Protein backbone atom coordinates (compact mmCIF):
# COMPACT_ATOMS: atom_id res chain seq x y z
CA UNK A 1 0.00 0.00 0.00
CA UNK A 2 1.28 3.41 -0.94
CA UNK A 3 1.79 5.92 1.83
CA UNK A 4 -0.89 8.56 1.62
CA UNK A 5 1.52 11.48 1.59
CA UNK A 6 3.06 13.98 -0.77
CA UNK A 7 6.38 13.86 1.03
CA UNK A 8 9.24 13.68 -1.46
CA UNK A 9 6.91 12.63 -4.25
CA UNK A 10 7.13 15.89 -6.22
CA UNK A 11 9.65 18.67 -6.75
CA UNK A 12 9.61 22.28 -7.83
CA UNK A 13 12.02 22.71 -10.73
CA UNK A 14 11.22 26.12 -12.16
CA UNK A 15 10.05 29.55 -11.08
CA UNK A 16 9.46 32.62 -13.21
CA UNK A 17 7.86 36.04 -13.05
CA UNK A 18 7.09 39.14 -15.05
CA UNK A 19 8.24 42.49 -13.72
CA UNK A 20 5.93 43.70 -10.95
CA UNK A 21 3.87 46.84 -11.53
CA UNK A 22 1.80 49.25 -9.50
CA UNK A 23 -1.91 48.82 -10.11
CA UNK A 24 -2.82 49.25 -13.78
CA UNK A 25 0.69 49.94 -15.05
CA UNK A 26 1.09 46.61 -16.81
CA UNK A 27 -1.19 47.85 -19.60
CA UNK A 28 -1.35 47.39 -22.57
CA UNK A 29 -0.35 43.82 -21.81
CA UNK A 30 -3.30 41.59 -20.95
CA UNK A 31 -3.51 39.33 -17.89
CA UNK A 32 -3.05 36.39 -20.28
CA UNK A 33 0.11 37.99 -21.72
CA UNK A 34 1.51 38.25 -18.20
CA UNK A 35 0.58 34.63 -17.38
CA UNK A 36 2.30 33.33 -20.51
CA UNK A 37 5.44 35.40 -19.95
CA UNK A 38 5.74 34.10 -16.39
CA UNK A 39 5.06 30.51 -17.50
CA UNK A 40 7.69 30.63 -20.26
CA UNK A 41 10.18 32.17 -17.81
CA UNK A 42 9.53 29.39 -15.28
CA UNK A 43 9.89 26.70 -17.95
CA UNK A 44 13.14 28.25 -19.12
CA UNK A 45 14.37 28.37 -15.52
CA UNK A 46 13.65 24.64 -15.28
CA UNK A 47 15.27 23.79 -18.59
CA UNK A 48 11.93 22.66 -19.97
CA UNK A 49 9.67 23.89 -22.74
CA UNK A 50 5.95 24.30 -23.34
CA UNK A 51 5.94 20.94 -25.15
CA UNK A 52 6.81 19.26 -21.84
CA UNK A 53 3.81 20.66 -19.98
CA UNK A 54 0.82 18.37 -19.43
CA UNK A 55 -0.85 19.80 -16.34
CA UNK A 56 -2.18 22.95 -14.71
CA UNK A 57 -2.85 23.41 -10.98
CA UNK A 58 -4.22 26.85 -10.24
CA UNK A 59 -6.12 28.62 -7.47
CA UNK A 60 -9.18 30.79 -7.25
CA UNK A 61 -7.69 34.10 -8.13
CA UNK A 62 -5.72 32.88 -11.13
CA UNK A 63 -7.68 35.11 -13.57
CA UNK A 64 -6.77 32.85 -16.44
CA UNK A 65 -8.27 29.62 -17.70
CA UNK A 66 -6.38 26.53 -18.78
CA UNK A 67 -8.29 26.28 -22.05
CA UNK A 68 -6.93 29.52 -23.42
CA UNK A 69 -3.47 29.06 -21.92
CA UNK A 70 -3.11 25.62 -23.47
CA UNK A 71 -4.46 26.76 -26.81
CA UNK A 72 -2.16 29.75 -27.11
CA UNK A 73 0.89 27.90 -25.74
CA UNK A 74 0.23 24.90 -28.02
CA UNK A 75 0.39 22.38 -25.18
CA UNK A 76 0.45 18.94 -26.87
CA UNK A 77 -1.96 17.33 -24.39
CA UNK A 78 -3.48 18.51 -21.12
CA UNK A 79 -3.72 15.51 -18.80
CA UNK A 80 -4.59 17.35 -15.59
CA UNK A 81 -6.19 20.70 -14.86
CA UNK A 82 -7.71 21.79 -11.57
CA UNK A 83 -7.91 24.76 -9.30
CA UNK A 84 -8.32 25.23 -5.58
CA UNK A 85 -11.51 27.03 -4.66
CA UNK A 86 -11.54 30.34 -2.82
CA UNK A 87 -9.11 33.19 -3.36
CA UNK A 88 -5.55 34.00 -2.35
CA UNK A 89 -5.66 31.41 0.41
CA UNK A 90 -4.89 28.78 -2.21
CA UNK A 91 -1.53 30.12 -3.36
CA UNK A 92 0.75 27.72 -1.47
CA UNK A 93 -1.84 24.97 -1.83
CA UNK A 94 -1.82 25.18 -5.62
CA UNK A 95 1.68 23.68 -5.50
CA UNK A 96 0.30 20.91 -3.27
CA UNK A 97 -2.36 20.31 -5.91
CA UNK A 98 0.35 20.10 -8.58
CA UNK A 99 2.31 17.72 -6.36
CA UNK A 100 -0.78 15.55 -5.92
CA UNK A 101 -1.15 15.34 -9.69
CA UNK A 102 2.43 14.25 -10.33
CA UNK A 103 2.53 11.93 -7.28
CA UNK A 104 -0.52 10.05 -8.55
CA UNK A 105 0.64 9.83 -12.15
CA UNK A 106 -2.04 12.10 -13.52
CA UNK A 107 0.52 14.46 -15.02
CA UNK A 108 4.30 14.88 -15.26
CA UNK A 109 4.98 18.59 -15.63
CA UNK A 110 2.47 20.90 -13.98
CA UNK A 111 2.25 24.69 -14.22
CA UNK A 112 0.88 26.77 -11.36
CA UNK A 113 0.46 30.38 -12.42
CA UNK A 114 -1.16 33.48 -10.98
CA UNK A 115 -1.69 36.59 -13.06
CA UNK A 116 -3.12 39.80 -11.71
CA UNK A 117 -4.04 43.09 -13.29
CA UNK A 118 -5.97 45.65 -11.28
CA UNK A 119 -6.55 48.27 -13.97
CA UNK A 120 -10.30 47.63 -13.94
CA UNK A 121 -10.84 46.36 -10.43
CA UNK A 122 -9.41 46.99 -6.99
CA UNK A 123 -8.71 44.41 -4.34
CA UNK A 124 -8.53 47.24 -1.82
CA UNK A 125 -12.33 47.33 -1.73
CA UNK A 126 -13.02 43.91 -3.10
CA UNK A 127 -16.26 43.33 -1.22
CA UNK A 128 -17.78 46.70 -2.10
CA UNK A 129 -20.99 46.44 -4.10
CA UNK A 130 -20.12 46.58 -7.79
CA UNK A 131 -23.07 48.86 -8.50
CA UNK A 132 -21.86 51.57 -6.11
CA UNK A 133 -18.23 51.95 -7.09
CA UNK A 134 -18.66 53.09 -10.66
CA UNK A 135 -17.05 51.72 -13.84
CA UNK A 136 -16.73 48.24 -12.47
CA UNK A 137 -13.89 49.33 -10.25
CA UNK A 138 -15.08 47.24 -7.31
CA UNK A 139 -15.50 43.61 -7.74
CA UNK A 140 -18.15 41.94 -5.65
CA UNK A 141 -21.84 41.67 -6.41
CA UNK A 142 -24.01 41.81 -3.28
CA UNK A 143 -25.23 38.43 -2.05
CA UNK A 144 -27.82 37.49 0.58
CA UNK A 145 -24.92 36.71 2.92
CA UNK A 146 -22.60 39.62 2.11
CA UNK A 147 -25.12 42.37 2.83
CA UNK A 148 -25.02 41.50 6.54
CA UNK A 149 -21.48 42.92 6.46
CA UNK A 150 -21.58 45.48 3.65
CA UNK A 151 -24.69 47.22 5.04
CA UNK A 152 -22.47 48.55 7.81
CA UNK A 153 -19.76 49.74 5.42
CA UNK A 154 -17.63 46.67 5.97
CA UNK A 155 -16.56 46.03 2.40
CA UNK A 156 -12.76 45.98 2.21
CA UNK A 157 -10.41 43.21 3.31
CA UNK A 158 -8.33 45.64 5.38
CA UNK A 159 -11.33 46.66 7.46
CA UNK A 160 -12.27 43.05 8.00
CA UNK A 161 -8.88 41.79 9.11
CA UNK A 162 -8.61 44.91 11.30
CA UNK A 163 -11.47 43.43 13.36
CA UNK A 164 -9.42 40.30 14.12
CA UNK A 165 -6.30 42.26 15.02
CA UNK A 166 -8.22 44.79 17.13
CA UNK A 167 -9.53 41.95 19.28
CA UNK A 168 -6.06 40.40 19.44
CA UNK A 169 -4.79 43.72 20.82
CA UNK A 170 -7.59 43.74 23.39
CA UNK A 171 -6.98 40.17 24.53
CA UNK A 172 -3.18 40.05 24.53
CA UNK A 173 -1.85 43.61 24.62
CA UNK A 174 -0.55 43.57 21.06
CA UNK A 175 0.30 47.11 19.91
CA UNK A 176 0.80 49.10 16.73
CA UNK A 177 4.52 49.03 17.54
CA UNK A 178 4.33 45.29 16.92
CA UNK A 179 2.58 45.87 13.61
CA UNK A 180 5.25 48.44 12.74
CA UNK A 181 7.97 45.87 13.34
CA UNK A 182 6.42 43.62 10.69
CA UNK A 183 6.15 46.51 8.22
CA UNK A 184 9.69 47.76 8.86
CA UNK A 185 11.44 44.37 8.89
CA UNK A 186 9.68 43.41 5.67
CA UNK A 187 10.65 46.71 4.07
CA UNK A 188 14.27 46.18 5.07
CA UNK A 189 14.24 42.97 3.05
CA UNK A 190 12.75 44.69 0.00
CA UNK A 191 15.31 47.47 -0.16
CA UNK A 192 18.06 45.27 -1.58
CA UNK A 193 15.92 43.71 -4.30
CA UNK A 194 15.63 45.10 -7.82
CA UNK A 195 12.22 43.46 -8.17
CA UNK A 196 10.74 45.39 -5.24
CA UNK A 197 8.26 48.19 -5.76
CA UNK A 198 9.13 49.71 -2.37
CA UNK A 199 12.88 50.24 -2.02
CA UNK A 200 13.15 53.15 0.40
CA UNK A 201 13.68 52.43 4.09
CA UNK A 202 10.62 52.76 6.29
CA UNK A 203 11.15 54.45 9.64
CA UNK A 204 9.05 54.09 12.76
CA UNK A 205 8.17 57.80 12.44
CA UNK A 206 6.93 57.34 8.88
CA UNK A 207 4.89 54.37 9.97
CA UNK A 208 3.13 56.31 12.72
CA UNK A 209 2.77 59.54 10.70
CA UNK A 210 1.08 57.78 7.78
CA UNK A 211 -2.67 58.12 7.38
CA UNK A 212 -4.90 55.79 9.31
CA UNK A 213 -7.11 53.74 7.03
CA UNK A 214 -9.13 51.36 9.17
CA UNK A 215 -8.00 51.25 12.80
CA UNK A 216 -5.75 49.68 13.88
CA UNK A 217 -4.39 49.48 10.32
CA UNK A 218 -2.66 52.47 8.80
CA UNK A 219 -1.14 52.87 5.34
CA UNK A 220 1.94 50.73 5.98
CA UNK A 221 -0.06 47.87 7.45
CA UNK A 222 -1.46 47.28 3.98
CA UNK A 223 0.10 45.46 1.06
CA UNK A 224 0.08 47.14 -2.32
CA UNK A 225 -2.34 46.81 -5.22
CA UNK A 226 -0.20 45.39 -8.02
CA UNK A 227 -0.08 43.83 -11.47
CA UNK A 228 2.13 40.95 -12.55
CA UNK A 229 2.38 37.19 -12.83
CA UNK A 230 4.38 34.39 -11.21
CA UNK A 231 4.60 30.77 -12.39
CA UNK A 232 5.95 27.64 -10.73
CA UNK A 233 6.76 24.29 -12.39
CA UNK A 234 6.28 21.04 -10.45
CA UNK A 235 7.33 17.59 -11.64
CA UNK A 236 8.26 14.11 -10.40
CA UNK A 237 11.44 13.58 -8.35
CA UNK A 238 12.79 11.38 -11.19
CA UNK A 239 12.24 14.01 -13.87
CA UNK A 240 13.66 16.68 -11.56
CA UNK A 241 17.08 15.03 -11.30
CA UNK A 242 18.62 16.20 -14.57
CA UNK A 243 17.11 19.64 -14.97
CA UNK A 244 18.78 23.03 -14.73
CA UNK A 245 18.66 23.57 -10.95
CA UNK A 246 18.85 21.25 -7.97
CA UNK A 247 15.24 20.25 -7.26
CA UNK A 248 13.31 21.66 -4.33
CA UNK A 249 11.32 18.82 -2.80
CA UNK A 250 7.77 19.05 -1.55
CA UNK A 251 7.69 17.83 2.08
CA UNK A 252 4.02 18.46 2.67
CA UNK A 253 1.06 20.59 1.72
CA UNK A 254 -2.41 21.20 3.06
CA UNK A 255 -5.36 23.39 2.13
CA UNK A 256 -8.69 23.93 3.86
CA UNK A 257 -9.58 24.95 7.40
CA UNK A 258 -12.18 24.39 10.11
CA UNK A 259 -15.66 24.42 8.62
CA UNK A 260 -16.84 27.14 10.96
CA UNK A 261 -13.94 29.34 9.90
CA UNK A 262 -16.02 29.37 6.74
CA UNK A 263 -16.30 32.73 5.03
CA UNK A 264 -14.24 34.13 7.90
CA UNK A 265 -13.83 37.87 7.50
CA UNK A 266 -17.07 38.36 5.61
CA UNK A 267 -19.27 36.82 8.29
CA UNK A 268 -17.35 37.33 11.58
CA UNK A 269 -19.12 34.39 13.20
CA UNK A 270 -16.06 32.21 13.71
CA UNK A 271 -15.95 30.44 17.09
CA UNK A 272 -14.44 32.52 19.87
CA UNK A 273 -11.57 30.06 20.41
CA UNK A 274 -10.04 30.91 17.04
CA UNK A 275 -11.62 34.24 16.05
CA UNK A 276 -8.29 35.99 16.67
CA UNK A 277 -6.32 33.55 14.54
CA UNK A 278 -5.26 33.32 10.93
CA UNK A 279 -7.47 30.28 10.35
CA UNK A 280 -4.29 28.28 9.80
CA UNK A 281 -4.16 26.11 12.92
CA UNK A 282 -5.60 22.93 11.36
CA UNK A 283 -3.44 23.46 8.26
CA UNK A 284 -0.29 23.93 10.32
CA UNK A 285 -0.94 20.68 12.17
CA UNK A 286 -1.49 18.71 8.97
CA UNK A 287 1.43 20.11 7.01
CA UNK A 288 3.87 19.54 9.87
CA UNK A 289 2.57 15.98 10.30
CA UNK A 290 2.94 15.20 6.61
CA UNK A 291 6.44 16.64 6.51
CA UNK A 292 7.49 15.03 9.78
CA UNK A 293 8.93 18.29 11.09
CA UNK A 294 7.97 21.07 13.48
CA UNK A 295 8.41 24.83 13.75
CA UNK A 296 11.94 24.47 15.18
CA UNK A 297 13.02 22.86 11.90
CA UNK A 298 11.91 25.74 9.68
CA UNK A 299 14.78 27.94 8.47
CA UNK A 300 12.79 30.61 6.66
CA UNK A 301 9.06 31.41 6.63
CA UNK A 302 7.23 33.06 3.78
CA UNK A 303 3.93 34.17 5.31
CA UNK A 304 1.13 35.54 3.17
CA UNK A 305 1.24 39.17 4.28
CA UNK A 306 -1.66 41.18 2.93
CA UNK A 307 -1.75 42.96 6.31
CA UNK A 308 0.96 43.24 8.97
CA UNK A 309 -1.23 41.93 11.76
CA UNK A 310 -1.98 38.71 9.97
CA UNK A 311 1.73 37.84 9.98
CA UNK A 312 1.56 38.01 13.77
CA UNK A 313 -1.38 35.63 13.91
CA UNK A 314 0.35 33.15 11.59
CA UNK A 315 3.49 33.14 13.77
CA UNK A 316 1.21 31.92 16.57
CA UNK A 317 -0.78 29.44 14.49
CA UNK A 318 2.39 27.82 13.10
CA UNK A 319 3.82 27.45 16.60
CA UNK A 320 6.76 29.84 16.41
CA UNK A 321 5.47 31.44 19.60
CA UNK A 322 2.54 30.91 21.94
CA UNK A 323 -0.99 32.12 21.23
CA UNK A 324 -1.08 35.82 22.05
CA UNK A 325 2.73 36.11 22.20
CA UNK A 326 3.50 37.21 18.65
CA UNK A 327 3.83 40.88 19.56
CA UNK A 328 6.73 40.41 22.00
CA UNK A 329 8.15 37.72 19.65
CA UNK A 330 8.59 40.19 16.79
CA UNK A 331 9.64 43.00 19.14
CA UNK A 332 12.65 40.87 20.10
CA UNK A 333 13.80 40.93 16.48
CA UNK A 334 13.04 37.29 15.79
CA UNK A 335 11.63 37.76 12.27
CA UNK A 336 14.46 39.98 10.99
CA UNK A 337 16.84 38.88 8.27
CA UNK A 338 19.60 37.85 8.70
CA UNK A 339 19.97 37.97 12.47
CA UNK A 340 16.54 36.76 13.65
CA UNK A 341 15.77 33.24 14.79
CA UNK A 342 13.13 32.95 12.04
CA UNK A 343 13.70 35.24 9.05
CA UNK A 344 10.28 36.05 7.58
CA UNK A 345 9.45 37.28 4.10
CA UNK A 346 13.04 37.73 3.01
CA UNK A 347 11.78 38.87 -0.40
CA UNK A 348 9.87 41.86 0.95
CA UNK A 349 6.53 40.08 0.84
CA UNK A 350 3.21 41.38 -0.34
CA UNK A 351 3.84 44.45 1.78
CA UNK A 352 6.96 45.79 0.08
CA UNK A 353 8.07 43.71 -2.91
CA UNK A 354 4.78 43.11 -4.75
CA UNK A 355 1.34 41.66 -4.15
CA UNK A 356 0.88 38.84 -6.64
CA UNK A 357 -1.57 37.08 -4.34
CA UNK A 358 1.09 35.06 -2.53
CA UNK A 359 2.93 33.47 -5.44
CA UNK A 360 6.07 35.55 -4.93
CA UNK A 361 6.39 33.69 -1.61
CA UNK A 362 6.67 30.33 -3.39
CA UNK A 363 9.29 31.77 -5.73
CA UNK A 364 11.30 33.10 -2.80
CA UNK A 365 11.16 29.78 -0.94
CA UNK A 366 12.58 28.02 -3.99
CA UNK A 367 15.38 30.57 -4.34
CA UNK A 368 16.22 30.28 -0.63
CA UNK A 369 16.52 26.49 -0.90
CA UNK A 370 18.60 26.74 -4.07
CA UNK A 371 20.90 29.12 -2.21
CA UNK A 372 20.36 31.86 -4.78
CA UNK A 373 18.13 34.28 -2.86
CA UNK A 374 19.04 37.95 -2.80
CA UNK A 375 18.67 37.94 0.99
CA UNK A 376 19.96 34.43 1.52
CA UNK A 377 19.41 32.65 4.84
CA UNK A 378 22.67 30.72 5.33
CA UNK A 379 22.27 26.97 4.77
CA UNK A 380 18.49 27.16 4.50
CA UNK A 381 17.19 23.58 4.35
CA UNK A 382 13.48 23.91 5.07
CA UNK A 383 11.08 26.66 4.02
CA UNK A 384 7.46 27.23 5.01
CA UNK A 385 5.10 29.01 2.60
CA UNK A 386 1.52 29.99 3.41
CA UNK A 387 -1.53 31.14 1.46
CA UNK A 388 -4.15 33.29 3.17
CA UNK A 389 -5.51 34.20 5.92
CA UNK A 390 -8.67 34.18 3.89
CA UNK A 391 -11.97 32.37 3.79
CA UNK A 392 -11.62 28.60 3.31
CA UNK A 393 -9.23 27.43 1.99
CA UNK A 394 -6.06 28.68 3.58
CA UNK A 395 -3.02 26.64 2.65
CA UNK A 396 0.58 25.77 3.40
CA UNK A 397 3.58 24.22 1.73
CA UNK A 398 6.74 22.86 3.34
CA UNK A 399 9.75 22.52 1.05
CA UNK A 400 13.28 21.24 1.50
CA UNK A 401 16.38 21.11 -0.63
CA UNK B 1 -16.06 68.16 22.32
CA UNK B 2 -17.73 65.22 20.65
CA UNK B 3 -16.26 63.94 17.42
CA UNK B 4 -18.83 63.54 14.72
CA UNK B 5 -19.32 59.88 13.85
CA UNK B 6 -20.90 58.96 10.56
CA UNK B 7 -23.08 56.17 9.34
CA UNK B 8 -22.86 54.32 6.06
CA UNK B 9 -24.55 56.43 3.34
CA UNK B 10 -27.89 54.87 2.49
CA UNK B 11 -27.06 54.34 -1.18
CA UNK B 12 -24.62 51.61 -0.16
CA UNK B 13 -27.28 49.59 1.63
CA UNK B 14 -28.64 46.54 -0.18
CA UNK B 15 -31.46 44.21 0.78
CA UNK B 16 -30.55 41.39 -1.57
CA UNK B 17 -32.16 38.37 0.08
CA UNK B 18 -33.05 34.74 -0.37
CA UNK B 19 -35.85 32.78 1.32
CA UNK B 20 -33.60 32.05 4.31
CA UNK B 21 -32.63 35.68 4.98
CA UNK B 22 -35.77 37.54 3.90
CA UNK B 23 -37.64 37.25 7.25
CA UNK B 24 -34.75 39.09 8.93
CA UNK B 25 -35.10 42.12 6.66
CA UNK B 26 -38.91 42.04 6.70
CA UNK B 27 -38.87 42.25 10.51
CA UNK B 28 -36.05 44.82 10.42
CA UNK B 29 -38.26 47.12 8.35
CA UNK B 30 -40.70 46.96 11.30
CA UNK B 31 -37.82 47.66 13.72
CA UNK B 32 -37.91 44.16 15.12
CA UNK B 33 -34.75 42.06 15.48
CA UNK B 34 -35.51 38.41 14.79
CA UNK B 35 -33.01 35.56 14.64
CA UNK B 36 -33.49 32.08 13.19
CA UNK B 37 -33.33 29.21 15.69
CA UNK B 38 -33.49 25.50 14.93
CA UNK B 39 -36.70 23.99 16.35
CA UNK B 40 -35.00 20.61 16.56
CA UNK B 41 -31.86 21.44 18.57
CA UNK B 42 -32.35 25.11 19.58
CA UNK B 43 -29.19 26.31 17.80
CA UNK B 44 -29.26 29.85 16.43
CA UNK B 45 -27.75 30.36 12.98
CA UNK B 46 -26.56 33.72 11.70
CA UNK B 47 -26.44 35.05 9.08
CA UNK B 48 -29.70 33.21 8.45
CA UNK B 49 -29.17 29.94 6.57
CA UNK B 50 -31.54 27.33 5.23
CA UNK B 51 -29.99 24.53 7.31
CA UNK B 52 -28.97 24.15 10.94
CA UNK B 53 -25.19 23.83 11.16
CA UNK B 54 -25.45 21.41 14.10
CA UNK B 55 -28.26 18.97 13.20
CA UNK B 56 -28.54 19.92 9.51
CA UNK B 57 -32.31 20.16 9.58
CA UNK B 58 -34.28 22.98 8.00
CA UNK B 59 -36.88 23.45 10.75
CA UNK B 60 -36.69 27.02 11.96
CA UNK B 61 -38.46 29.52 14.18
CA UNK B 62 -37.78 33.25 14.25
CA UNK B 63 -37.07 34.46 17.76
CA UNK B 64 -37.25 38.12 18.80
CA UNK B 65 -34.20 39.60 20.51
CA UNK B 66 -33.95 42.99 22.20
CA UNK B 67 -30.64 43.71 20.47
CA UNK B 68 -28.77 44.49 23.66
CA UNK B 69 -25.29 43.11 23.15
CA UNK B 70 -21.61 43.53 23.79
CA UNK B 71 -19.02 44.94 21.42
CA UNK B 72 -16.88 41.99 20.30
CA UNK B 73 -14.58 43.94 17.99
CA UNK B 74 -14.58 47.10 15.88
CA UNK B 75 -12.67 49.14 13.36
CA UNK B 76 -12.71 52.90 12.81
CA UNK B 77 -12.87 53.62 9.12
CA UNK B 78 -10.86 56.83 8.56
CA UNK B 79 -10.08 56.58 4.85
CA UNK B 80 -12.64 56.33 2.08
CA UNK B 81 -11.87 52.89 0.68
CA UNK B 82 -14.37 53.76 -2.02
CA UNK B 83 -14.93 57.40 -2.93
CA UNK B 84 -18.58 57.64 -1.92
CA UNK B 85 -17.74 57.10 1.73
CA UNK B 86 -15.64 60.25 2.11
CA UNK B 87 -18.39 62.52 3.49
CA UNK B 88 -19.44 60.04 6.16
CA UNK B 89 -16.05 59.43 7.77
CA UNK B 90 -15.13 58.43 10.36
CA UNK B 91 -17.42 55.43 10.61
CA UNK B 92 -17.08 53.05 13.53
CA UNK B 93 -18.04 49.55 12.41
CA UNK B 94 -18.71 47.09 15.18
CA UNK B 95 -19.14 43.35 15.56
CA UNK B 96 -21.71 42.87 18.32
CA UNK B 97 -22.25 39.59 20.09
CA UNK B 98 -25.80 38.96 21.31
CA UNK B 99 -26.28 37.13 24.62
CA UNK B 100 -28.30 33.92 24.77
CA UNK B 101 -27.88 33.21 21.04
CA UNK B 102 -24.97 30.71 21.10
CA UNK B 103 -22.67 33.48 19.93
CA UNK B 104 -24.58 35.16 17.10
CA UNK B 105 -22.81 38.32 15.97
CA UNK B 106 -24.33 41.27 14.15
CA UNK B 107 -22.22 43.74 12.20
CA UNK B 108 -23.38 47.35 12.50
CA UNK B 109 -22.21 50.94 12.78
CA UNK B 110 -21.62 52.26 16.29
CA UNK B 111 -23.33 55.64 16.65
CA UNK B 112 -23.60 58.27 19.32
CA UNK B 113 -20.09 58.27 20.73
CA UNK B 114 -16.66 59.45 19.56
CA UNK B 115 -14.36 56.74 18.18
CA UNK B 116 -11.89 57.40 20.98
CA UNK B 117 -14.21 55.99 23.66
CA UNK B 118 -15.24 52.87 21.76
CA UNK B 119 -13.81 49.76 23.39
CA UNK B 120 -14.25 46.04 23.13
CA UNK B 121 -16.59 44.69 25.77
CA UNK B 122 -18.73 47.81 26.06
CA UNK B 123 -22.47 47.22 26.27
CA UNK B 124 -24.43 48.44 23.26
CA UNK B 125 -28.10 48.78 22.38
CA UNK B 126 -29.69 48.22 19.01
CA UNK B 127 -30.88 51.16 16.97
CA UNK B 128 -32.47 50.99 13.53
CA UNK B 129 -31.14 53.06 10.67
CA UNK B 130 -33.91 53.70 8.18
CA UNK B 131 -33.24 53.88 4.46
CA UNK B 132 -35.64 53.92 1.53
CA UNK B 133 -36.45 50.22 1.30
CA UNK B 134 -36.01 49.09 4.89
CA UNK B 135 -33.84 49.36 7.98
CA UNK B 136 -30.40 48.13 8.98
CA UNK B 137 -29.15 47.44 12.49
CA UNK B 138 -26.83 49.93 14.18
CA UNK B 139 -25.83 50.24 17.81
CA UNK B 140 -25.33 52.88 20.50
CA UNK B 141 -23.46 52.64 23.79
CA UNK B 142 -25.74 51.34 26.54
CA UNK B 143 -25.47 52.49 30.13
ZN1 LIG C 1 -30.44 21.98 14.73
User: Cα(B42) to centroid of ligand 1, in Å?
Assistant: 6
pLDDT at residue number A138: 58
Q: Give yes or no for residue B140 having a pLDDT over 60.
A: yes
Residue A129 to residue B108, Cβ atoms within 8 A? no
Residues 6+ apart with CB under 8 A from B130: none
Q: What is the pLDDT of residues A241-300, one digit of tens each?
A: 999 999 999 999 999 999 999 999 999 999 999 999 999 999 999 999 999 999 999 999
Alpha-carbon span A345 to A198, nearest angstrom: 14
Pairing relationship of beta strands A217-218 and A212-214 according to DSSP bridges:
antiparallel
Q: Where are the domains of chain A?
A: 1-122+225-251, 151-222+252-390
Cα three-residue angle A69-A50-A359, rounded to 5 degrees: 65
If we measure between CA atoms, which residue out of B81, B127, B141 comes closest to residue A126? Answer: B81
Give this complex's ipTM: 0.96
pLDDT at residue number B51: 98
pLDDT at residue number B87: 87
> How many angstroms away from the CA of A256 is the closest CA of chain B?
18
Q: Binning pLDDT at 50, 70 and 90, where does residue A136 land? A: very low
pLDDT at residue number A345: 98
Identify the CATH number of the domain defined by range A1-122+225-251: 3.40.47.10
> How many angstroms away from the CA of B89 is the closest CA of chain A?
11
Residue B93 to residue A158, Cβ atoms within 8 A? no
Q: Binning pLDDT at 50, 70 and 90, where does residue A139 land? A: low
Find, in chain A, the residue whose alpha carbon is nearest to that of B95: A268
Closest by Cβ to A144, choosing from B18, B81, B94: B18
pLDDT at residue number A3: 79
Alpha-carbon span A273 to A164, nearest angstrom: 12
Q: Give yes or no for residue B2 having a pLDDT over 50.
A: no
Alpha-carbon span A10 to A249, nearest angstrom: 6
User: Cα(B53) to centroid of ligand 1, in Å?
Assistant: 7
> How many angstroms away from the CA of A241 is the closest CA of chain B?
49
Q: Binning pLDDT at 50, 70 and 90, where does residue A131 land? A: low
pLDDT at residue number A129: 65
Question: Can A318 be counted among the known catalytic residues?
Answer: no
pLDDT at residue number B7: 82
> How many angstroms away from the CA of A225 is the closest CA of chain B?
13
Length of chain A, in residues: 401
pLDDT at residue number B138: 97
For chain A, the average pLDDT equals: 95
Indicate the Cα dihedral angle A158, A164, A170, A175, nearest 10°.
-50
Helix ranges, A51-175 (H): 66-73, 91-103, 130-133, 147-150, 157-172
Mutate to test the interface with A, among B19, B81, B119 (most CBs of A within 10 A): B81
pLDDT at residue number A357: 95
Q: Give yes or no for residue B142 having a pLDDT over 70.
A: yes
Q: What is the pLDDT of residues A365-388, one digit of tens each?
A: 999 999 999 999 999 999 999 999
Q: What is the pLDDT of residues B63-120, one digit of tens each?
A: 999 999 999 999 999 998 888 888 899 999 999 999 999 999 999 999 998 999 999 9
Tell me the whole-structure pTM to 2 decimals. Answer: 0.97
Average pLDDT of the segment spanning A1-25: 93
CATH architecture of residue range(s) A151-222+252-390: 3-Layer(aba) Sandwich (3.40)
Q: Give yes or no for residue B135 having a pLDDT over 50.
A: yes
How many Cα atoms occupy the beta-carbon half-sphere of A156 within 13 Å?
32
Q: Binning pLDDT at 50, 70 and 90, where does residue B5 land? A: low
Instruction: Give long-range contacts, CB 8 A cutoff, 24+ apart: B127-132.
Output: B128/B28, B128/B31, B129/B7, B129/B8, B131/B10, B131/B13, B132/B10
Pairing relationship of beta strands A109-116 and A21-22 according to DSSP bridges:
unpaired
Residue A214 to residue B8, Cβ atoms within 8 A? no
pLDDT at residue number A135: 36
Q: Is A386 helix (H, G, I), strand (E, B) or coil?
A: strand
Chain A residues within an 8 Å CB radius of B109:
152-153
Q: What is the pLDDT of residues A188-231, one digit of tens each?
A: 999 999 999 999 999 999 999 999 999 999 999 999 999 999 99
Question: Between A and B, how many CB-CB pairs are < 8 A?
Answer: 132
Radius of gyration of chain A (CA): 20
**What is A246-258 written as a DSSP string?**
--EEEEEEEEE--
pLDDT at residue number A205: 98
User: Cα(A390) to centroid of ligand 1, in Å?
Assistant: 27
Mutate to test the interface with B, among A141, A145, A148, A151 (most CBs of B within 10 A): A151
pLDDT at residue number A128: 74
Question: Can A304 be counted among the known catalytic residues?
Answer: yes
Q: What is the pLDDT of residues B21-41, one digit of tens each?
A: 999 999 999 999 999 999 999
A395 with A318: CB under 8 angstroms? no
Q: Binning pLDDT at 50, 70 and 90, where does residue B8 land? A: confident
Q: What is the pLDDT of residues A301-344, one digit of tens each?
A: 999 999 999 999 999 999 999 999 999 999 999 999 999 999 99
Amino acid sequence: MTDRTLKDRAAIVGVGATPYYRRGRSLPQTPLDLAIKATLAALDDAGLGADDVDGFALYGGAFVDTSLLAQILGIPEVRFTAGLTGGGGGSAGSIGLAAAAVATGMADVVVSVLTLQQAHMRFGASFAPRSKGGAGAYSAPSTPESVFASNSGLMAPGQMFAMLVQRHMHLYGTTRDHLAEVAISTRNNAITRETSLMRDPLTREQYFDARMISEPFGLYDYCMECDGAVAVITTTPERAKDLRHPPVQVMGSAAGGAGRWGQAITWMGMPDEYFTSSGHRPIAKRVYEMAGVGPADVDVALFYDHFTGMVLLQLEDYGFCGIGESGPFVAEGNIRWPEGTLPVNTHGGNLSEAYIIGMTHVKEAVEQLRGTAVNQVPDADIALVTGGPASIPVSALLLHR
Amino acid sequence: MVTRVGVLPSEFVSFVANPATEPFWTAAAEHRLVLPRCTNCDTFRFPPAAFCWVCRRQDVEWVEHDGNGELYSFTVLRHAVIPGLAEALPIVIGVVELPDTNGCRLIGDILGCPPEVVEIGMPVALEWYDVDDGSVPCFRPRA
